Amino acid sequence: MAATMRATVFVEPGRIELGEKPIPPVGPLDALVRITTTTICGTDIHILKGEYPVAPGLTIGHEPVGIIEKLGSAVQGYQEGQRVIAGAITPSGWSNACQCGVCSQDGPGTRHGWKPLGGWRFGNTIDGCQAEYVLVPDAMVNLAPVPDGLSDEQVLMCPDIMSTGFGGAENARIRIGDVVAVFAQGPIGLCAAAGARLAGASVVIGVDRMAGRLEVARRMGVDLVVDASRLDPVEEILRLTRGRGVDVAIEALGTQQTFEAALRVLRPGGTLSSLGVYSTDLKIPMDAFAAGLGDHKIVTTLCPGGKERMRRLMSVVESGRVDFGGLVTHRFKLDQIMSAYDLFGHQRDGVLKVAITP
Amino acid sequence: MAATMRATVFVEPGRIELGEKPIPPVGPLDALVRITTTTICGTDIHILKGEYPVAPGLTIGHEPVGIIEKLGSAVQGYQEGQRVIAGAITPSGWSNACQCGVCSQDGPGTRHGWKPLGGWRFGNTIDGCQAEYVLVPDAMVNLAPVPDGLSDEQVLMCPDIMSTGFGGAENARIRIGDVVAVFAQGPIGLCAAAGARLAGASVVIGVDRMAGRLEVARRMGVDLVVDASRLDPVEEILRLTRGRGVDVAIEALGTQQTFEAALRVLRPGGTLSSLGVYSTDLKIPMDAFAAGLGDHKIVTTLCPGGKERMRRLMSVVESGRVDFGGLVTHRFKLDQIMSAYDLFGHQRDGVLKVAITP
Amino acid sequence: MAATMRATVFVEPGRIELGEKPIPPVGPLDALVRITTTTICGTDIHILKGEYPVAPGLTIGHEPVGIIEKLGSAVQGYQEGQRVIAGAITPSGWSNACQCGVCSQDGPGTRHGWKPLGGWRFGNTIDGCQAEYVLVPDAMVNLAPVPDGLSDEQVLMCPDIMSTGFGGAENARIRIGDVVAVFAQGPIGLCAAAGARLAGASVVIGVDRMAGRLEVARRMGVDLVVDASRLDPVEEILRLTRGRGVDVAIEALGTQQTFEAALRVLRPGGTLSSLGVYSTDLKIPMDAFAAGLGDHKIVTTLCPGGKERMRRLMSVVESGRVDFGGLVTHRFKLDQIMSAYDLFGHQRDGVLKVAITP
Amino acid sequence: MAATMRATVFVEPGRIELGEKPIPPVGPLDALVRITTTTICGTDIHILKGEYPVAPGLTIGHEPVGIIEKLGSAVQGYQEGQRVIAGAITPSGWSNACQCGVCSQDGPGTRHGWKPLGGWRFGNTIDGCQAEYVLVPDAMVNLAPVPDGLSDEQVLMCPDIMSTGFGGAENARIRIGDVVAVFAQGPIGLCAAAGARLAGASVVIGVDRMAGRLEVARRMGVDLVVDASRLDPVEEILRLTRGRGVDVAIEALGTQQTFEAALRVLRPGGTLSSLGVYSTDLKIPMDAFAAGLGDHKIVTTLCPGGKERMRRLMSVVESGRVDFGGLVTHRFKLDQIMSAYDLFGHQRDGVLKVAITP
């Protein structure tokens, strides 16, 4: 094994570069994973633009598929050479947050065991996986072996967008027969729509402004689509539901407009499940909120992680219940990752997700 | 029985009057109840001021204790002469909303069975109970016999503030060992604090700006109090919890300031349970909301109604688990109800709740 | 309208007959429904055999599809001529049981509002629907209009087997990615399997001793089938799950053998969801139950009823998520119902469900 | 520090002895804790009698209070000299069972991450704490610092009986206003009763055959007691609830008789929460079980562990919500532990729990 590796590092706002870095030493609880496939997330674009600050020199990327290269001295239950994934969120397993059921808000170094987003480490507080190798912390908590029959690309969505999207459906506690609207049909929204269907929704309504995405949505099983570039989505959804409104509205973009529309289509007692990353304060309009007396719920979800979560998501792929293979629209070598960022960052050529192979 | 009765009616914004009205005829599913004790709610003050519009001529009031005077022809299971209460919210029992678990959003006349606040009928869409008699709709759903050992005043809080306050604690899904902050220690907040304790909170922190209310809070079992007129409640609660934050924050006032403070003291993954009636749009600050990624939940609750709810609340009073008798600080005859409105509306003389006896 | 109608009545153990009965008068809360399609349930066979006692002279049957012939004087929100279904269970909407969330255990005539199975009235405590007309009690709670696009047969499974089967999956609180085994693939088991899939199970394993039923199971989307006439289902399921066991096991037959097998294939912390009607005491083997320390759950479900439930189930059919049309294997006129009983009671000719049209 | 320590070891069925053992070496994730107080559990008596088999030579005991003597090389967040407790159950934090929400069924060495009771290690699969020192595995998951104001005896019930008893109440999902019966008022039953009250039960009924225990129950806040040596508890509870039955029945003994009585007092739709350790197969009588159609639930609970659980339980003690100090009826030095076993094993002298101090 070489002593150094190529890695995609954040340099300064507006600049990410492919550089050379030492391959890190493996601590007792760690595993070193050789990346075979990874991808770029919308969050990485925020980092690139400097909208979400990370330390200069940090390796970016949080969606790893790879092969175990080396196991820490205290790690049991795995073998070197095994093909694995790890979630975008890598909880410690031992914080109070984990034991309290909010693993993604893990903060083992803090006084009380949690800090907001604390479980998100790859490409945020430690080196990520747009590189030849990644060091997975708390490996026994986080490494999930990939079933033999599944390709890298088939499980590439599990670490982040599938876990996040499904999480939005799960936290909304969808019941059999619910009507669910999903605002924005990007990768997260598409996964949320699939999760809503999987959880029992009898009608899933997808909303977007891009005709291409609505087409993908239809192909992936969304029942009804609303083109928000042509119609007012609130009016249209109320029309489609004959005034009933929806039981659950999932926000998957992160804007005031979609958040507010999601609230306005909810029936009394309905749940707004928010997945978007907001960059401004949000407003809750009093009329849509029934002055606080409508028995509404607003829930937010950060991508759930951990090996059991990954195992479950891969079992859903394996069963054929969902097929997110079609989300990978473009493929790049790691050497070409700057082109991939350019394409993905500007949403050119109908890109949904890219696959990067070192 | 006389043909007319005295009743407190809304005349126009700023004016409520005690007038004379016909005693209503009793439909097949109704019950006519002779009021023995009732009270005034903060919502009635909103109505008086014209902030919450109701039809001129409507009898106000939604917290009835009384004696069954006459039962509708189709009502079974009760006897005339029985002492009963009914909830402030009187669901129909047969709407889709009721069967969907959101009885307070009942709208049986609507196409889909719900409308916001639809279950609130007394003093809102039908004549209320600040009168000698009240007609209780869907009597079999709503009439709850009062156990012999309990006085009118002991059960007077059940129809609204106890049901609402407890509902705020219940919907927050408090777990044994949770730390809970309650913003505002008026009647609803005091009930929410009691509900939080009853549901297993190990520490309940009460916040208010009025020293008298904080004293009542302490007497009623609140563990720690924060005087928001002297201290910043967010800083103080973070200090008291040694930086941990609270698992659940209950908003019981209905202002941006308390809503925002409630959000800022929450731990990641915590729940903001909102009971207040807001009169303006609300702002969710991005930092407090972790950009939508903090696994926060915001839940709202409208007072649960129905006879089973009332039975349960009275059983809690009967068991001695709580004692809200002390909340009645002043007593008036129905003839003096204008004085009661004056006192309660201006929050004079340390008033918490008044008892009105026709 | 004639004064009498044909009706299938229980005469004595071993004897059910098609007779003539007066068409009942319509009380204020009732609706008279002219039956257009109905079916026979396994429970009816128990009644026929005298294993479940009902009053001689009672009309049998609890799965009605029909047209509203006449509405009670107090019923609002419907029109005569509307096509409707009602659930096998017809809760009152106003009992304590209903308000407590256990509508099927409704007992409005009892002191406390519940009695076991109290919500099951059709063909049990009041006349049922294997007749030309049926009187639906508490019509506003129970009548659900059938969407125009759906045929009688498409909604014929909603009143009982679909509601029961789905209820078994719902009460087991299936999570996305669960592995679920369903013991017995008769009509209820097939619906439970479909419900498990709909609720997010990634693998559903169907067990039966009849090859024909396993074939139907496969066609309806069951992932893996186990022929219990050839293999030990416990061993086979542990083999299929590589020793892991299942997250949820659904019992849909009502025997000690299937109950026990369901317990033995559960992982620690798993849930046994029981739908069967047992005719003997049950034994819980200590080893399978980990001496009471395995964090196991056993939940039982009686068919949920009410118009909102029916609306939701029909919306699932309408969406195409499931197709139970194939369950109707044989069709009869009401005049031939004795032949239908003979066929269904002896499980001849691969019968799953029959459709009876007056 | 000496090289050896005194420890209470299982020798053979019927024989436990105080012996001398080497103080174990401390692995990277372990902590060595010097025991300051511990106790004897009913389970230890089962072990002594040979009813629950453990390896000869194993140190017994699973309820440790002590001081951190030495931390493993990879353990962060603690200091030597800190006073701590650990739960009777010490989950790994990284098994699939832990991530699936069933930490007590942890089985990290198994193929799928769980095995029945796998999280119970102290005095079962590894050396326990009736000794001068105990090695705590996965220390970061399991060590909970004791708040300064609390004595050893005040927290001595947290590791097992309080966690188990409260768990029985929690898993029953008690709602405010529930009526709860607890069968057997030994240490676990008393804690379950306290937990039921803490979770919102308005009436808690305690059942036992020993007058002394019923007296303790009353002192600790049980509302009504039933002496099963004089009255039939099923009849008496139905009388006390005026035929209504209870919402939740907690079994805290582990016999057919109490299990069956618990089922017979349940209302339809009620929950039987089982905590007992059964030594024979259980029978579910069909009549009490409504042939499987009563919407009953049976849930079992193994003591929840982990540092967050311990922190929460200690916060309940600290708040004064419960006071289990009175449960310690007798005190012994470690040298006298054989006398303690004798007293406790034969339930002499009104013993509830003993405190053992090395």
- Interval A88-115: pLDDT, tens: 999 999 999 999 999 999 998 787 889 9
Same domain, B233 and B172: yes
CA B303 – CA B42 distance, rounded (Å) = 14
Domain boundary residue, one of D300, D315, D334: D300
Q: In a 3-state reduction of DSSP, which class is residue D238? A: helix
Q: In a 3-state reduction of DSSP, which class is residue D237? A: helix
Same domain, B126 and B181: no
Q: Which two tokens stand for residue A92?
A: 């410690």
On the 0-12 / 13-18 / 19+ scale of CB atoms within 10 A, A36 is middle
> Which of C76, C109, C308 lies nearest to residue B99, judging by beta carbons?
C308
Give me the interface pTM, i.e. the ipTM. 0.97
* Chains touching chain B, criterion 3+ CB pairs below 8 Å: A, C, D
Q: In a 3-state reduction of DSSP, which class is residue B53? A: coil
Contact D285 C286 (CB under 8 A): no
Contact C308 B96 (CB under 8 A): yes
- In Å, what is the CA distance from D219 to each residue of A279, B199, D151? 56, 21, 21
Contact D278 C298 (CB under 8 A): no
Dihedral angle over CA of D132, D138, D142, D144, nearest 10: 70
Contact A96 D309 (CB under 8 A): no
Residue B278, min C-alpha distance to chain D (Å):
27
On the 0-12 / 13-18 / 19+ scale of CB atoms within 10 A, A325 is middle
Angle between helices D307-318 and D163-171 (to 10 degrees): 100
Domain boundary residue, one of D258, D285, D300: D300
Closest Cα partner for B30 from B148, B143, B192, B164?
A: B143
**pLDDT on residue A2:** 75
CA C316 – CA C304 distance, rounded (Å) = 16
Model confidence band, residue D108 (pLDDT cutoffs 50, 70, 90): confident
On the 0-12 / 13-18 / 19+ scale of CB atoms within 10 A, B348 is exposed
**pLDDT on residue B1:** 61
Which residues in D lie closer than 8 A to residue B170 (C-beta atoms)?
A: 175-176
**pLDDT on residue A111:** 79
Question: What average pLDDT score do residues A244-269 get?
Answer: 98
Dihedral angle over CA of D239, D244, D250, D252, nearest 10: 20
Sequence-distant (6+) residues with CB within 8 A of D120 are D62, D88, D89, D104, D302, D303
Same domain, C221 and C328: no
Say if CB B200 and CB D200 are below 8 A apart: yes
Q: What is the pLDDT of residues A182-235, one digit of tens each?
A: 999 999 999 999 999 999 999 999 999 999 999 999 999 999 999 999 999 999
Same domain, D293 and D345: no
* Chains touching chain C, criterion 3+ CB pairs below 8 Å: A, B, D
Residue C48, min C-alpha distance to chain B (Å):
33
Residue B166, min C-alpha distance to chain D (Å):
8
Q: Which long-range contacts (CB under 8 A, 24 or more apart) does D210-215 make?
A: D210/D185, D212/D350, D213/D185, D213/D186, D213/D352, D214/D185
Q: Which two tokens stand for residue D289?
A: 């079980």
Strands A328-333 and A353-357: parallel
Question: What average pLDDT score do residues C291-317 get?
Answer: 98
> DSSP letter string over C279-348?
SS-EEE-TTTTGGGTS--EEEE-----SHHHHHHHHHHHHTTS---GGGEEEEEEGGGHHHHHHHHHTT-
Q: What is the DSSP letter of B264?
A: H
Q: Which of C51, C300, C301, C303 would best serve as a mutation to test chain D binding (most D beta carbons within 10 A)?
A: C300
How many helices (H) does chain B have, and how many strands (E)? 11, 18
Closest residue of A to C310, CA-based? A177
CA A20 – CA C331 distance, rounded (Å) = 74
> Which of C170, C223, C313 lies nearest to residue A319, judging by beta carbons?
C223
> Would you say residue C344 has pLDDT above 70?
yes
Q: How high is the mean pLDDT of chain D?
A: 96
**pLDDT on residue B81:** 98
Question: What average pLDDT score do residues D197-221 get?
Answer: 96
Which residues in C lie closer than 8 A to residue A223 (C-beta atoms)?
A: 319
**pLDDT on residue D110:** 85
Contact A281 B276 (CB under 8 A): no
Same domain, B340 and B254: no
Question: What average pLDDT score do residues A56-70 get?
Answer: 98
Domain count, chain B: 2
Say if CB C277 and CB C252 are below 8 A apart: no
Q: What is the DSSP letter of B103?
A: G
Say if CB A108 and CB D77 are below 8 A apart: yes
Q: What is the pLDDT of residues A282-306, one digit of tens each?
A: 999 999 999 999 999 999 999 999 9
CA B306 – CA A316 distance, rounded (Å) = 42
Contact C96 B141 (CB under 8 A): no
Q: What is the DSSP letter of C102?
A: -
Residue D271: give the domain boundaries: 165-300
Same domain, D293 and D339: no
In a domain, B107, yes or no: no
Minimum mean pLDDT range among A27-41, A161-175, B226-240, B316-330:
B316-330
Say if CB A5 and CB A127 are below 8 A apart: no
Same domain, A152 and A175: no
Q: How high is the mean pLDDT of chain C?
A: 96
Contact A177 C202 (CB under 8 A): no
CA C333 – CA C8 distance, rounded (Å) = 12
Contact C117 D294 (CB under 8 A): yes
| CATH number of D183's domain | 3.40.50.720
CA A8 – CA A173 distance, rounded (Å) = 38
CA D145 – CA D85 distance, rounded (Å) = 7
Model confidence band, residue D284 (pLDDT cutoffs 50, 70, 90): very high
Which residues in A lie closer than 8 A to residue B286 (C-beta atoms)?
A: 278-282
For residue A139, give the H/E element and its range: helix A139-142
Q: In a 3-state reduction of DSSP, which class is residue A340? A: helix
Same domain, A292 and A170: yes
In a domain, B42, yes or no: yes
Which residues in A lie closer than 8 A to residue C203 (C-beta atoms)?
A: 315, 319
> Would you say residue C156 has pLDDT above 80?
yes
Q: In a 3-state reduction of DSSP, which class is residue B234? A: helix
Residue D93, min C-alpha distance to chain A (Å):
5
| CATH number of A77's domain | 3.90.180.10
* Chains touching chain A, criterion 3+ CB pairs below 8 Å: B, C, D
Model confidence band, residue C110 (pLDDT cutoffs 50, 70, 90): confident
Contact C321 A166 (CB under 8 A): no
Same domain, D27 and D127: yes
Angle between helices D163-171 and D187-198 (to 10 degrees): 50
Contact A117 B282 (CB under 8 A): no
Q: Which two tokens stand for residue D141?
A: 């998951």
CA D131 – CA D23 distance, rounded (Å) = 10
In a domain, D113, yes or no: no
CA C329 – CA B38 distance, rounded (Å) = 62
> Hey, which residues does D31 pair with through a beta bridge?
D71, D136
Q: In a 3-state reduction of DSSP, which class is residue C158? A: helix
> Which of B242, B274, B297 lies nearest to residue A299, judging by beta carbons?
B297
Which residues in D lie closer than 8 A to residue A311 (C-beta atoms)?
A: 96
Q: Which two tokens stand for residue B314?
A: 């009275």
Say if CB A334 and CB A130 are below 8 A apart: yes
In a domain, C349, yes or no: yes
Say if CB D155 and CB D168 are below 8 A apart: no
In a domain, D81, yes or no: yes
Residue B260, min C-alpha distance to chain C (Å):
34
Closest residue of B to A285, CA-based? B281
Closest Cα partner for D156 from D275, D302, D330, D5?
A: D330
Contact B100 A269 (CB under 8 A): yes
What single letter denotes the amino acid at residue B47?
Answer: I
CA D193 – CA C67 distance, rounded (Å) = 53
> Which of D93, D308, D309 lies nearest to residue A93, judging by beta carbons?
D93
> Would you say residue C1 has pLDDT above 70?
no
Strands (E), chain C: 4-12, 15-22, 31-37, 65-71, 83-85, 106-107, 113-114, 133-136, 144-145, 179-183, 203-208, 224-227, 246-251, 266-274, 282-284, 297-300, 328-333, 353-357
Q: Is pTM, for the whole model, over 0.95?
A: yes
Contact C200 A200 (CB under 8 A): yes
Closest Cα partner for C139 from A78, B153, A174, B94?
A: B94
**pLDDT on residue D112:** 84
> Which of B117, B268, B299 lies nearest to residue A116, judging by beta carbons?
B268
Same domain, C273 and C339: no
Residue C199, min C-alpha distance to chain D (Å):
17
Same domain, D141 and D34: yes
Say if CB C192 and CB A288 are below 8 A apart: no
Q: Per-block average pLDDT, block size 10, for chain B (358 residues)?
A: 91 97 96 98 95 95 98 95 98 95 90 91 98 98 97 97 98 98 97 98 98 95 97 98 97 98 98 96 97 97 98 97 91 97 95 96
In a domain, C191, yes or no: yes
In a domain, C54, yes or no: yes
- In Å, what is the CA distance from D328 to each residue of D102, D183, D332? 30, 21, 11
Same domain, C252 and C350: no
Q: Which two tokens stand for residue B132?
A: 């000698």
Which residues in D lie closer than 8 A to residue C243 (C-beta atoms)?
A: 110-112
CA D317 – CA D298 distance, rounded (Å) = 29
CA B40 – CA A347 distance, rounded (Å) = 59
In a domain, A145, yes or no: yes
Q: What is the DSSP letter of D328?
A: E
Residues B156-192 as b/e (b if ≥16 CB within 10 A, e otherwise) read bbbbbbbbbbbbbbbbbebbbbbbbbbbbbbbbbbbb
